[in-house]
Amino acid sequence: MGDRAGQDRADERQAMLEWHIRARGIADPRVLDAMAAVPRERFLPPSVAADAYADSPLPIGHGQTISQPYIVALTAEAGLLKPGDRVLDVGTGSGYAAAVYAAIGAEVWSVEFVPELAEQARAALAAAGVRNVHVVTGDGTLGLRDHAPFDAILAAAAGPDIPAPWIDQLAEGGRIVMPLERNPGWQQLVRVTRRGDDTELDDLGAVRFVPLRGEHGLR
């Protein structure tokens, strides 16, 4: 987009990066560059596209929301994403987070439960010229056995515990970043790292996500 409107959007994106992402402690240059490169407005319905650079979740239909930019950045940074990583993104939603992970240079398999959202996300990703995201319709709590192992499994919806298939499908040294809701109404973002037969858990703080559905989900 070389036009005036495109430049205004790029300026808004820079301001978002400065005030909502960098100022809140995200420092990984790969994440910052990817956030600067992905036009969030392209993943929103026209009715809310004007608010694309507010740091908030926004409705995308079917009772779901596009993730808040800071949360996408935090998840990517915590997942230690790097070019060439194989990533499982659970909860495609609008496709925005998947596009950010792809902009880091990862190969992304993104699973969405709601077929209409998966279809919309495919169209948005194609229109934005993103090629390294494969959108799959289904229950992401089961993982994607045919494409495992993954270097990172990143979830945009809160579950009661780490789904067992994700641990099985994680590469050695691989990271799961997901919100856990072990007690109703209280969620924490965690990172689980696979070290041989063991896992290591880091608490990344309190968060607020929509519920993960499906076999290993909340409801």
Catalytic positions are 67
Q: Are 57 and 68 in contact (CB under 8 A)?
A: yes
Contact 140, 113 (CB under 8 A): yes
Helix, coil or strand: residue 82 = coil
Q: Does 177 bind ligand SAH (CB under 6 A)?
A: no
Nearer to ligand SAH, 45 or 173 (CB): 45
Q: If binding is defined by CB under 6 A, does position 143 make contact with ligand SAH?
A: no
210 binds ligand SAH (CB under 6 A): yes
For ligand SAH, which is the closer residue by CB, 139 or 151?
139
| DSSP code string of 127-181 | HTT--SEEEEES-GGG--GGG--EEEEEESSBBSS--HHHHHTEEEEEEEEEEEE
* CB-based burial, 129-159: b 16+ in 10 Å, e otherwise: ebebbbbbbebbbbbbeeebbbbbbbbbbbb
How far is CA 83 from its chain centroid? 16
- Retrieve residue 4's tokens: 């005036």
Quick one: 80 or 117, whose CB is closer to ligand SAH? 117
Asked if 65 interacts with ligand SAH (CB under 6 A), we say: yes
Residue 94 interacting with ligand SAH (CB under 6 A): yes
Does position 140 interact with ligand SAH (CB under 6 A)? The reply is yes
213 binds ligand SAH (CB under 6 A): yes
Tell me which stretch binds ligand SAH (CB under 6 A): 13-21, 93-101, 143-151, 167-175: 93-101
Size, binding site for ligand SAH by CB under 6 A: 25
State the nearest-atom distance from the C-beta of 107 to ligand SAH, in Å. Answer: 17
State which amino acid sits at residue 143.
G
Shortest separation between residue 214's beta carbon and ligand SAH, angstroms: 3
Residues in contact with ligand SAH by the rule CB under 6 A: 64-67, 90-91, 93-94, 96-97, 111-114, 117, 139-141, 156-157, 210, 212-214, 217
